[in-house]
Amino acid sequence: MTIGLNVVAPIITYNMLSDHGWSEFSALLLSSAWPVLDSVVSLAWRRKLDEFAVVTLVFLVITAVVSLAGAHSARALLIKDSGVTGLFGLLCLATLLAPRPLMFYFGRKFATDGTPGSTAWWNGLWQFETFRTTMNRMTLVWGLAYITEALVRVFLAYTLETKTMVVVSPIMIYGVLAGLGVWTALYGKRSKAEGERLAAEREAREAREAAAS
């Protein structure tokens, strides 16, 4: 459903409206309503305001403001998408200065079932340096990746035709997301193995010290 509403439906809607004489701006504006619908459906399905829901609501507001208050042109709407992902990248980097980076909360969403016990377990991992390094590094990589993606899409919006960018833009968005997802899974697995190795070495060292004493 996510791919359908965020990639397929906007492309089909834009092409159909353009073929029926709609302006590029009007066709883009109406086709951009599909991702909004996807976010609303997701929030209604979860029936809970978690970290993902908060981020979604923030960027829905940003998108609405930029769409309505910004320049009324097709290029402005294409750049709007880059602004949203770019702001997400900046948000990632900004949270590196907070007590917990953004990926800590996103990781907790995927790694736990939301029960108090599993949440407490995840929160307790913060005491380990390896875990803190992993969360901070993931947040840094996601932030830099989305800022770079936004800049590239702005450049393409000024160099490619609108019809081409309607196809390229969602492919870039979900291509970057897929790439980051794969990297995050592999890096998280490697970091977990490293943390387990260090824990085993620490336990062995403590056992030797206890035996010696």
Specify the pLDDT at position 147: 94
Q: pTM of the full predicted structure?
A: 0.68
Please check the confidence at residue 3 and state whether its pLDDT lies above 70: no
On the CB side of 196, CA atoms within 13 Å amount to: 6
Range 13-35 average pLDDT: 71
Enter the DSSP assignment of 47: -
> 55 with 64: CB under 8 angstroms?
no
Q: How far apart are CA 52 and CA 46, in angstroms?
A: 10
Instruction: Tell which wins on pLDDT, 108 or 63.
Output: 108
Residue 95's pLDDT is what? Answer: 92
The residue among 134, 133, 165, 128 whose CA lies nearest residue 11 is 165
106 Cβ contact list (under 8 Å, min separation 6): 51, 52
Return the top range by mean pLDDT from 40-49, 74-83, 130-139.
Answer: 130-139
**For the chain, what is the mean pLDDT?**
78
The confidence score (pLDDT) of residue 93 equals 95
Long-range pairs of 90-96 with CB within 8 A, sequence gap ≥ 24: 90/143, 90/147, 91/55, 91/143, 92/139, 92/140, 92/142, 92/143, 92/146, 93/139, 93/140, 93/143, 93/144, 93/147, 95/139, 96/136, 96/139, 96/140, 96/143
Q: What is the pLDDT of residues 137-163, one digit of tens each?
A: 999 999 999 999 999 988 988 888 877
Residue 211 — very low, low, confident or very high, per pLDDT cuts 50/70/90?
A: confident
pLDDT for res 144: 96
Quick one: CA torsion of 171, 175, 178, 181, rounded to 10 degrees?
Answer: -130
Q: What pLDDT is recorded for position 137?
A: 95
Cβ–Cβ under 8 Å, residues 43 and 56:
yes
Confidence category of residue 61, pLDDT binned at 50, 70, 90: low
